[in-house]
Amino acid sequence: MLNVLLVDDDVELTTMLSEYLGQEGFVVQAVHTGEDGVAEALSGTHAIVVLDVMLPRLNGIETLRRIRKESRIPILMLTARGDPIDRIVGLDLGADDYVPKPCTPGELVARLRAILRRTDGAGAAEGAGGGALRVGALHLWPGSRRAEWRGRALDLTGAEFNILEVLARHAGRVVSKADLSKRALGRPLSPYDRRIDVHISAIRQKLGGADDGHALIQTVRGAGYQLSSE
């Protein structure tokens, strides 16, 4: 049984989603304010958070920001359909993924399971067989979801770790955004989808520059991204 924290001020919606998620094997706790969402997310009793952007008083973006100051718990954002700004800001602040509202319960369950596979079970299974990945001064431990750059721990979200792991496994080669989306995020790349670009930007900021002053992750225009193998 996996504990899900649902943060949304729509009581009717949270009741419906709680019942559906319960039938799918999840244990759901619903809260209706950002303040309560922060407190519960930091309690250590939940495996994942579903967080609505449109919350009263403390909105979803600020709630996400406060959670990310202290925790790397996986967070799935619920955003307004057709509004890319909230999605981009949410990803930039460390959300693992988003689902536009209104969404079907089945779609929400699929996204939750995909995130949990990437951030827990799938990573542990792969890491147990393959051990650490080393590309120059970059070290990744997929089993424990740890990353170091020049001996310094990297504080990565689940999605960021997945993208960096895919790039590390293909160091020196170009990986298309479509492949990154499929392998790291578990979903096909849709038109005008910028989530890969946003995650890459965040990873670059956390890595800093290479010894020669260039970015460790290079953009290959029209082709994708490449992690330097040096």
Compute the distance between CA of residue 181 and CA of residue 162 in angstroms, rounded to an integer: 10
- Tokens 């790291």, residue located: 184
Same domain, 38 and 97: yes
- Region 77-102: mean pLDDT is 83
Q: What mean pLDDT do residues 55-81 have?
A: 91
The answer on 164 and 68 residing in a single domain is: no
Identify which has the larger pLDDT, 16 or 211: 16
Q: What per-residue confidence (pLDDT) applies to 32?
A: 96
Greater pLDDT, 133 or 75: 75
Q: Are residues 44 and 91 in the same domain?
A: yes
Residues 156 and 222 in one domain: yes
Q: Are residues 108 and 6 in the same domain?
A: yes
Number of domains observed in the structure of the chain: 2
Contact (CB, 8 A) for 228 and 136: yes
* 100 and 63 in a common domain: yes
Cross-strand partners of 28: 4
Q: Across residues 184-211, what is the average pLDDT?
A: 84
- Looking only at the bridges linking them, the beta strands covering 138-141 and 133-135 are antiparallel
Q: Is residue 120 part of a domain?
A: no
Higher confidence at residue 223 or residue 127? 223
User: Domain holding 182: CATH number?
Assistant: 1.10.10.10
The whole-angstrom separation of Cα 202 and Cα 183 is 18
Contact predicate 56/42, CB 8 Å: no
Residues 27 and 66 in one domain: yes
DSSP string, the chain: -EEEEEE-S-HHHHHHHHHHHHHTTEEEEEE-SHHHHHHHHTTT--SEEEEES--SSS-HHHHHHHHHTT----EEEEEETT-HHHHHHHHHTT--EEEEES--HHHHHHHHHHHHIIIIIHHHHHHHHH--EEETTEEEETTTTEEEETTEE----HHHHHHHHHHHHTTTSEE-HHHHIIIIISSPPPTT--HHHHHHHHHHHHH-B-TTSSBSEEEETTTEEEE---
Say whether both 71 and 154 belong to one domain.
no
Give the mean pLDDT of 128-147: 77
Range(s) of the domain holding residue 216:
131-227
Residues 6+ away with beta carbon under 8 Å from 11: 32
Q: Is residue 48's pLDDT more than 90?
A: yes
What's the pLDDT score for residue 183?
84
pLDDT band at 148 (very low <50, low <70, confident <90, very high): very high
Backbone angles phi, psi at 105, to 5 degrees: -55, -35
Is the residue at 126 inside a domain? Answer: no
List of residues 6+ apart from 6 with CB closer than 8 A: 14, 17, 18, 21, 28, 29, 30, 31, 50
Where among 84, 114, 144 does a domain terminate? 114
Spatial distance between the Cα atoms of 157 and 80, rounded to a whole number of angstroms? 22
- Considering the domain architecture, whether residues 159 and 201 belong to the same structural domain is answered as yes
* Confidence check: pLDDT of 76 > 90: yes
Same-domain status, 152 and 110: no
158 domain residue, yes or no: yes
pLDDT > 70 fraction of the chain, expressed in percent and rounded: 90
In a domain, 119, yes or no: no
